[in-house]
Amino acid sequence: MTSSPPLPVKPAAPTLRSSFAHAVRGALIGIVELVPGVSGGTVALVLGIFDRLITSANHLIRGVVRLVFKRGGKGFAHHLGDVEWSLVIPLLIGMFFALFALSGPLHGFVEGQPVLSNALFLGMVSASLLVPISMARDAGPITRNTRIFGPVVVLLVAAAVFWLLGIPSMQVEDPAWWVLILSGAAAVCALALPGLSGSFILLTFGMYEPTLEAVSERDFGYLALFASGAVLGLASIVQLLAYLLRVHRRAVLLVATGLILGSLRALWPWQDNGTLLQPDGDWLGPLLAALGGATVVLLLWLRERRGTAVAASL
**Identity of residue 99:** L
Strand 271-272 vs strand 275-276: parallel, antiparallel, or unpaired? antiparallel
Q: What DSSP string describes 189-241?
A: HHHHSTT--HHHHHHHTT-HHHHHHHHHTT-HHHHHHHHHHHHHHHHHHHHHH
Three-state SS string over 53-118 comes to: HHHHHHHHHHHHHHHHHCCCHHHHHHHHHHCCHHHHHHHHHHHHHHHHHCHHHHHHHHHHCHHHHH
What pLDDT, on the 0 to 100 scale, is given for residue 201? 73
pLDDT along the chain (314 residues), means of 10: 47 73 88 72 82 86 75 68 89 88 75 84 85 84 84 92 76 76 81 70 74 81 89 80 85 87 85 77 87 87 72 58
What pLDDT, on the 0 to 100 scale, is given for residue 3? 47
Q: Are 115 and 270 in contact (CB under 8 A)?
A: yes
What is the CB-side half-sphere exposure of residue 173 using CA atoms within 13 A? 0
Query: Beta-strand (E) ranges in the chain?
Result: 271-272, 275-276
Phi, psi for residue 275 in degrees, rounded to 5: -90, 120
Spatial separation of the C-alpha atoms in residues 55 and 112, rounded to whole Å: 39
What pLDDT, on the 0 to 100 scale, is given for residue 54? 86
pTM over 0.75: no
Distances (CA, A) of 113 to 15, 176, 272, 289: 39, 32, 14, 12
| Bridge partners, 275 (sequence order) | 272
What pLDDT, on the 0 to 100 scale, is given for residue 36? 64
Which contiguous run of DSSP H or E holds residue 312? helix 284-313
What pLDDT, on the 0 to 100 scale, is given for residue 78? 75
Q: Are 158 and 202 in contact (CB under 8 A)?
A: no
What pLDDT, on the 0 to 100 scale, is given for residue 259? 84
CB-based contacts of 314, cutoff 8 Å, min separation 6: none
What pLDDT, on the 0 to 100 scale, is given for residue 1? 46
Q: Are 170 and 206 in contact (CB under 8 A)?
A: yes
